């Protein structure tokens, strides 16, 4: 049986640890001469206004720098770093540019001639995923000779984990991303994600686990200093090992199961050879799910229900809620929590995603986002509709909808949306293991 090499290395020192992870996995053994290399970090989120807990959310600049230097040593002179960050303002290009500058990528551009691209400024090409599914991929990654995939080791509230394969979702256009988020059996988010790596050029995956994230993928998760790197020339094997380190067997992660089944791969690690440290030595369970309370009086995230909030029914997100609505989901929770004054609201329901159905007996129904509005704008089951029609939903429209429903939310939350991630920084104050220096180029 063919064995897929996967290295697990403890991160101990700049340059040296990445070099060891690459060597032990044979990561660059088949790198073509004079290769055109595309580097895909994970820059899922950025704020221009405030520092936020980047640890476990985005790829460290330390790993990006070490990888670029190693590629240069191998004679690579044509390197591109690309990302397709989703922002709340469509057409916003400044946020990713600010991330590139702040993270030090401009220094890599000067030193090594690395090209920096926003994939939304570049062409896309339709790629058939099979079974009637297709997405539009960035042409730069498709036309490269070699891909270096640099995801973060994190759990994810919809896909359980987000690792090498999931990181490639940042290379498809917005309509394709929205298409992935559906509930259709056999064609849902898990299936779409499972096939994203199939059209890639030869690829090396290095999972950045210097910091890991629990209940990701955003800055509201719980971050850990884990000091781990996982490398492999086979992205599925890297993801299987990464999932195990995060506390999940491959069979517990639907997109990994789908990908393995499609490739005829076992899920018991029998065709994987681990080099470096063992999986069991470093595995630590990271929760991925947000727990909800569901009763006749309330359907809410458990912390809100424990606070005593009643009269509002905010059902748990499903696979059909895409990144845009996910980005404002936390804002809504914070607004509801802050508006609670001890008196139950009058049976208000909030619907998200594309698949939720209104509950009979509700007095007011907030439809969050264009998809939910289109699905239910003529639904006779809704007694009083309050629609937030935008894609993405605008902060001021969400605030107006809450006020119309009788929820007196703080307007400052919605006026300073870009500053909200800074609220999570206090969790890491005076904790020296969370180093800002890992997000600078030296």
- Integer Cα distance of 422 and 396 in angstroms: 20
Q: Are residues 10 and 94 in the same domain?
A: yes
In a domain, 441, yes or no: no
In a domain, 430, yes or no: no
Q: What is the pLDDT of residue 308?
A: 95
Judged against a pLDDT cut of 80, whether residue 1 lies above it is answered with no
In a domain, 302, yes or no: yes
Q: Are residues 143 and 74 in the same domain?
A: yes
Mean pLDDT for 146-165 is 98
pLDDT category at 420 given cuts 50, 70, 90 is confident
Query: pLDDT tens, 255-281?
Result: 999 999 999 999 999 999 999 999 999
Q: Are residues 413 and 401 in the same domain?
A: yes
Q: What is the pLDDT of residue 302?
A: 94
Q: Which domain holds residue 189?
A: 4-288
Of 225, 258, 288, which residue is a domain's last?
A: 288
Q: Are residues 99 and 73 in the same domain?
A: yes
Mean pLDDT for 66-80 is 97
Q: What is the pLDDT of residue 90?
A: 79
- Integer Cα distance of 435 and 97 in angstroms: 22
- Integer Cα distance of 127 and 134 in angstroms: 6
Domain count, the chain: 2
Q: Are residues 148 and 224 in the same domain?
A: yes
By percentage, how much of the chain surpasses pLDDT 90? 91
Q: Are residues 298 and 281 in the same domain?
A: no
Q: Are residues 283 and 297 in the same domain?
A: no
Q: Are residues 266 and 389 in the same domain?
A: no
How many CA atoms lie less than 13 Å away from 140 in the CB half-sphere? 26
pLDDT category at 86 given cuts 50, 70, 90 is confident
- Integer Cα distance of 140 and 442 in angstroms: 27
In a domain, 433, yes or no: no
Q: Are residues 199 and 333 in the same domain?
A: no
Q: What is the pLDDT of residue 22?
A: 98
Q: Are residues 92 and 29 in the same domain?
A: yes
Query: pLDDT tens, 98-114?
Result: 999 999 999 999 999 99
Report the relative pairing of strands 203-214 and 146-150 from DSSP bridges: parallel
In a domain, 440, yes or no: no
Query: pLDDT tens, 322-376?
Result: 988 988 888 899 999 999 999 999 999 999 999 999 999 999 999 999 999 999 9
Of 229, 253, 288, which residue is a domain's last?
A: 288
Task: Output the domain CATH number for residue 214.
Answer: 3.40.50.11440
Judged against a pLDDT cut of 80, whether residue 309 lies above it is answered with yes
- Integer Cα distance of 58 and 368 in angstroms: 27
Judged against a pLDDT cut of 80, whether residue 378 lies above it is answered with yes
Q: Are residues 48 and 192 in the same domain?
A: yes
Q: Are residues 167 and 27 in the same domain?
A: yes
């Amino acid at each position: 049986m063919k064995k897929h090499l996967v290295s697990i290395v403890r991160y101990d020192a700049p340059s040296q640890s990445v070099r060891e992870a690459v060597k032990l996995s044979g990561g660059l053994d088949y790198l073509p001469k004079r290769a055109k290399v595309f580097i895909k970090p994970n820059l899922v989120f950025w704020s221009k206004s405030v520092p936020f807990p980047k640890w476990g959310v985005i790829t460290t600049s330390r790993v990006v720098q070490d990888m670029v230097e190693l590629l240069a040593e191998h004679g690579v002179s044509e390197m591109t770093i690309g990302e397709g960050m989703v922002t709340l303002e469509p057409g916003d290009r400044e946020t990713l540019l600010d991330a590139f500058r702040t993270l030090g990528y401009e220094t890599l551009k000067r030193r090594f001639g690395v090209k920096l691209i926003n994939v939304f400024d570049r062409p896309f090409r339709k790629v058939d995923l099979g079974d009637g599914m297709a997405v539009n991929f960035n042409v730069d990654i498709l036309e490269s000779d070699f891909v270096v995939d640099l995801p973060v080791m994190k759990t994810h509230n919809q896909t359980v984990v987000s690792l090498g394969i999931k990181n490639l979702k940042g290379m498809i256009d917005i309509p394709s991303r929205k298409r992935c988020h559906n509930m259709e059996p056999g064609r849902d988010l898990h299936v779409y994600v499972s096939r994203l790596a199939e059209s890639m050029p030869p690829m090396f995956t290095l999972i950045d686990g210097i910091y890991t994230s629990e209940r990701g993928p955003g800055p509201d998760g719980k971050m850990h200093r884990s000091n781990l790197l996982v490398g492999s020339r086979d992205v599925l094997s890297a993801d299987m090992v990464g999932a195990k380190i995060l506390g999940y067997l491959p069979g517990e992660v639907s997109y990994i199961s789908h990908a393995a089944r499609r490739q005829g791969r076992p899920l018991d690690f029998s065709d994987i050879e681990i080099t470096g440290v063992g999986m069991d030595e470093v595995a630590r369970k990271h929760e991925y799910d947000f727990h909800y309370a569901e009763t006749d009086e309330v359907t809410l995230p458990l912390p809100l229900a424990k606070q005593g909030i009643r009269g509002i029914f905010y059902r748990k997100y499903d696979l059909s809620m895409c990144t845009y609505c996910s980005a404002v989901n936390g804002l809504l929770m914070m607004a509801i929590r802050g508006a609670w004054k001890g008196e139950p609201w009058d049976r208000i329901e909030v619907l998200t995603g594309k698949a939720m159905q209104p509950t009979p007996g509700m007095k007011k129904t907030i439809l969050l986002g264009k998809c939910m509005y289109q699905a239910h704008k003529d639904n006779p089951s809704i007694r009083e509709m309050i629609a937030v029609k935008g894609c993405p939903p605008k902060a001021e429209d969400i605030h107006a909808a809450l006020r119309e429903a009788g929820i007196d939310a703080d307007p400052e939350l919605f006026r300073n949306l870009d500053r909200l991630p800074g609220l999570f920084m206090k969790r890491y104050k005076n904790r020296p293991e969370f180093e800002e220096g890992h997000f600078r180029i030296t």
